[in-house]
Amino acid sequence: MSKIFYGWLVLLVCGLGCVSGQAQAYRLAADFSIKEKQPDGQNVLILGRVYYDKRYLKVVYDISFPQPEIWVTYDTLLYKFDKQGQLKSRYPIPPLSRFSVFHLALTGQLPNYGLDGTVYAIEKTELSAQGMAVTTWQPRTSLRDKLGKILTRQQNKRLTGVVMFDTKGQVLQKQQFEQYGNTPNTSFFPCYIRQVTIDGKGQEFYKISTFKHLVINENAHQDLYNFRLVR
């Protein structure tokens, strides 16, 4: 499995009750672009359209560039199909669908980055000078030798940033969530996500994901939202 796509999947593993459209939303589709610079200096660009229905828990990527393919993440597997629906390969992955930005947004869990009800609990929430709520999440005491703290930042009850630390307090990763949809039924979804990953030498590697042409609760493309994995 490519390191490029694995890193992208991890990214895509990121209240909104005041947004009227989100409460009824159960599926979304959007054009996406992923721009990334790899540690070896390689520049990567992936383009396509993504489909997600929270009832099926399948993240379906209809990729147009660099090579036409369909990628599906479901449970603990990534499936890669050609455009005719023939399975080309599959790889084991962490169970990411429930923690993707798509699932978290559709289920109203994105403001707290899906941390409610996990091994993390809120230690404190502070108000920044810019009027943002910054919350510190700590793992269970028994896990603090394995997991570091996480900071989340909200403005107007929307997630705007996440910072992940190692057990020694060093920053591992930073994420920004911006440009939420500009219509009532898309305003719960961030259309710009910027991720910075910091390696053990302090080098920073960037990845930018953008989404546009969002469609909520469409009736078309049922074959993609619930893509057949066995044929």
What pLDDT does 23 receive?
55
What pLDDT does 97 receive?
82
96 band by pLDDT with thresholds 50, 70 and 90? confident
| 2.20.110, 2.50.20, 3.30.70, 3.10.180: CATH of 3-225 | 2.50.20
Instruction: Count Cα atoms within 13 angstroms, Cβ side, for 17.
Output: 2
- DSSP per position, 151-195: EEEEETTEEEEEEEE-TTS-EEEEEEEEEE-SSTTTTTSEEEEEE
CA pair distance 13, 109, nearest whole angstrom: 12
98 band by pLDDT with thresholds 50, 70 and 90? confident
Name the pTM for this structure: 0.86
Report the chain's mean pLDDT, rounded to a whole number.
Answer: 89
What pLDDT does 105 receive?
96
Say whether pLDDT at 63 is over 80: yes
CA pair distance 19, 185, nearest whole angstrom: 8
| pLDDT one-digit tens code per residue, 11-52 | 454 433 333 445 589 999 999 999 998 777 789 999 999 999
pLDDT (mean) for 122-146: 95
CA pair distance 161, 139, nearest whole angstrom: 19
Higher pLDDT, 228 or 16: 228
What pLDDT does 127 receive?
94
Say whether pLDDT at 95 is over 90: no
Higher pLDDT, 160 or 6: 160
Phi, psi (deg, nearest 5) at residue 17? -60, -20
End-to-end alpha carbon distance in the chain: 22
Closest by alpha carbon to 26, among 160, 178, 185?
A: 185
Higher pLDDT, 2 or 63: 63
| pLDDT one-digit tens code per residue, 146-205 | 999 999 999 999 999 999 999 999 999 999 999 999 888 899 999 999 999 998 888 889
The percent of residues in the chain predicted with pLDDT above 70, rounded, is: 90
Pairing outcome for strands 77-81 and 69-74: antiparallel
* Contact (Cβ atoms closer than 8 angstroms) between residue 142 and residue 191: no
